[in-house]
Amino acid sequence: MMMSKHGTRQIELHPDRLFPVEPAQRAIARRLYQTVAGMPILSPHGHTDPAWFSRNECFADPASLLVIPDHYLFRMLYSQGVSLDELGIPRSDGTRPETGMREVWRIFARHYHLFRGTPSCLWLEATFHSVFGLREELSAQTADDYFDRISELLATD
């Protein structure tokens, strides 16, 4: 495992990470994957509001994109004692707590280790690596770097 300048691990994604180990099955999986790899994902179980796609607006920051709308992430944090107000989760009456989005992201980063070995971590690391070009693991030390880089990219087409 390679370590970064912050003492965190480097994110390394093996291209066959989700394929079968048996060589013949892996070869079939690779061929099938190559036929769809560049296509958009359309899923009825998506964690996205369909209105996002109709409006095509930029997200302001990584917390608004990745933490607040994903119940798997905020429920894990809540189960470990982080309040929903600290995470900026809207209340039942629709009002939002006064939590800054950078602070929401920092809280998420401090607790990121809780997601190791979960499907959420697999998805997040693929997103950080492949979409945002981030190679260093998210942590308290890298939270601001992540926030700035993702925010910068979210402001582009």
- Report the chain's terminal Cα–Cα distance, integer Å: 34
> What are residue 37's phi and psi, to 5 degrees?
-55, -35
In DSSP terms, 10 is beta-bridged to 136
Please tell me whether residue 9 adopts helix, strand or coil conformation: strand
Global pTM? 0.80
Contact assessment for residue 70 and residue 47, using Cβ atoms and an 8 Å cutoff: yes
> From first to last of its 157 residues, what are the pLDDT tens digits of the chain?
565 666 777 888 888 888 999 999 999 999 999 999 888 876 666 667 778 878 888 899 999 999 999 999 999 999 999 999 999 999 999 898 999 999 999 999 999 999 999 999 999 999 999 999 999 999 999 999 999 999 999 999 8
- Tell me, which fold does domain 55-154 have in CATH? uronate isomerase, domain 2, chain A (1.10.2020)
For the chain, residues classed under CATH 1.10.2020.10 are 55-154
Q: How far is the CA of 87 from the CAs of 38, 47, 50, 107, 108, in angstroms?
A: 33, 17, 23, 8, 8
What burial class does residue 123 get, using C-beta atoms within 10 Å of its C-beta: 0-12 exposed, 13-18 middle, 19+ buried? middle
